């Protein structure tokens, strides 16, 4: 799709292809079926129109049905998920969750957390990797293809572990442009102190706290050249020590979501699909060029050149 459009028009929107690929990928990965093009065109515009308005809701996780999603459209989505997720709903019932409630949650997690996340984060990652130029692209293509070759030609989890630069690039994309609302606030439940590099603050129960995430994700005391995209930032032992300061998931990258910590339940899934995107791009292409703008949902990216794999 992208290649044909690029050949005929000289450029191709990454976002359009990304939406369709993300939806099909999620259908196959989570429900073992292909969400057909037909369904995509029925649902795609609804999801796309809805996203900017509910973006706050995604991250507040209020799980209410957004009012602008008219009932009929929501029901069509709901039917699709009910038909596609029989065995998952059986599991839910065994765990004491009603089929109906489980189905609403599956719909939410697939369409808004997963699809929404890929829709916002993938163009942003493509922007940063694209703008880093052919030097980085060659390094990535070399690393990725050699790891695949030494794993019998397959993209496995083990093969991806042998791609340190690719992993660092994904972490750096998540650090520099975390696909979350940057404002965080909450009311203190008890008295405590909070510490910055050079100060200690007393917080009283009931105080309203406000945080601006970029102060942490672009902290110049932690990160060298914080405003720059450094592809190899997380390489090696030094780099690995910085991972605890990668915070997109509402917690350190070195920790895992639990029932008690409000960290993103899809954390590992998000990292995995982001790695897969970079791997698939550089299996297929030696290099690519982008044209970048902004949209309601972050970056808007056109591909203006794709150089097919030559080695
Ligand atoms: C790029 C994609 C994603 C981003 C940026 C993201 C980000 C976040 C953030 C910041 C939170 C914390 C919200 C809060 O303040 O309470 C969160 C929670 C959550 N995320 Fe994600 N998420 C993404 C994808 C996913 C996916 C794919 C899933 C599931 C498959 C998922 C499931 C959840 C759930 C269930 C919670 C609630 C956890 C809790 O409150 O205990 N997310 N996510
Ligand atoms: C992408 O291409 C379309 C069609 O030529 C154009 O309207 C749009 O402004 C371009 N976007 C960027 C970010 O340059």
Residue 105 has pLDDT above 80, yes or no: yes
| pLDDT given at position 78 | 84
Q: Check pLDDT > 70 for residue 67.
A: no
Distance (Å, whole) CA 65 – CA 88: 21
pTM: 0.88
Q: By C-alpha distance, which of 35, 187, 41, 26 is closest to 108?
A: 26
Residues in contact with ligand 2 by the CB-under-6-Å rule are 11, 13, 291-293, 300, 302
CATH topology of domain 2-308: Cytochrome p450 (1.10.630)
Atom of ligand 1 nearest to the CA of 250: 10
Ligand 2 atom closest to 292 (CA): 13
Which of 15-29, 139-153, 270-284, 295-309 shows the lowest mean pLDDT across its residues? 15-29
Ligand nearest to the CA of 304: 2
* In the predicted structure, residue 242 carries a pLDDT above the cut 80: yes
Indicate which residue's Cα is closest to atom 18 of ligand 1.
264
pLDDT at 43 over 80: no
H/E element, 211: strand 208-212
The sign of the torsion formed by the CA atoms of 166, 171, 172, 176 equals positive
Q: Which of 4-18, 101-115, 291-305 has the highest mean pLDDT?
A: 4-18
The winner for highest mean pLDDT among 3-12, 48-57, 65-74, 111-120 is 3-12
**Which residues 6+ apart lie within 8 Å of 1 measured at CB?**
12, 16, 17, 20
- pLDDT band (50, 70, 90) for residue 91: very high
Considering only CA atoms, which of 122, 113, 42, 38 is closest in space to residue 74?
Answer: 42
Is residue 46 helix, strand or coil?
helix
Among the bound ligands, the one closest to the CA of 110: 1
Question: Which atom of ligand 1 lies at the shortest distance from residue 118's CA?
Answer: 1
Measured from the CB, is residue 234 less than 6 Å from ligand 1?
no
Q: Where are the domains of the chain?
A: 2-308
């Amino acid at each position: 799709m992208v290649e044909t459009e690029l050949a005929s028009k000289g450029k191709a929107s990454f976002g359009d292809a990304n939406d369709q690929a993300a939806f099909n990928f999620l259908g196959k990965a989570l429900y073992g079926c292909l969400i057909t093009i037909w369904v995509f065109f029925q649902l795609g515009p609804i999801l796309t129109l809805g996203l900017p308005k509910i973006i706050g809701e995604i991250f507040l996780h209020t799980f209410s049905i957004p009012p602008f999603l008219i009932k009929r459209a929501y029901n069509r989505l709901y039917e699709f998920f009910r038909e596609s997720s029989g065995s998952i709903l059986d599991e839910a019932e065994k765990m004491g969750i009603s089929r109906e409630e489980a189905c609403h949650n599956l719909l939410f997690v697939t369409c808004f957390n997963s699809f929404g996340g890929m829709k916002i984060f993938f163009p942003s990652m493509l922007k940063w990797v694209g703008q880093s130029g052919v030097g980085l692209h060659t390094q990535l293509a070399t690393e990725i293809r050699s790891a695949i070759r030494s794993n019998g030609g397959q993209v496995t989890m083990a093969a991806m572990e042998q791609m340190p630069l690719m992993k660092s690039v994904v972490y750096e994309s998540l650090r520099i442009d975390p696909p979350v609302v940057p404002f965080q606030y909450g009311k203190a439940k008890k008295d405590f102190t909070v510490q910055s590099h050079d100060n200690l603050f007393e917080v009283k129960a009931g105080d309203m706290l406000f945080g601006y995430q970029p102060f942490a994700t672009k902290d110049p005391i932690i990160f060298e050249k914080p405003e720059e995209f450094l592809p190899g930032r997380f390489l090696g032992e030094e780099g690995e020590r910085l991972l605890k300061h990668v915070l997109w998931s509402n917690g350190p990258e070195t920790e895992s979501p639990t029932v008690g910590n409000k960290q993103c339940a899809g954390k590992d899934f998000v990292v995995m699909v982001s790695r897969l995107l970079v791997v698939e791009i550089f299996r297929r292409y030696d290099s690519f060029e982008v044209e970048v703008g902004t949209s309601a949902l972050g970056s808007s990216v056109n591909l203006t050149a794709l150089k097919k794999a030559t080695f």
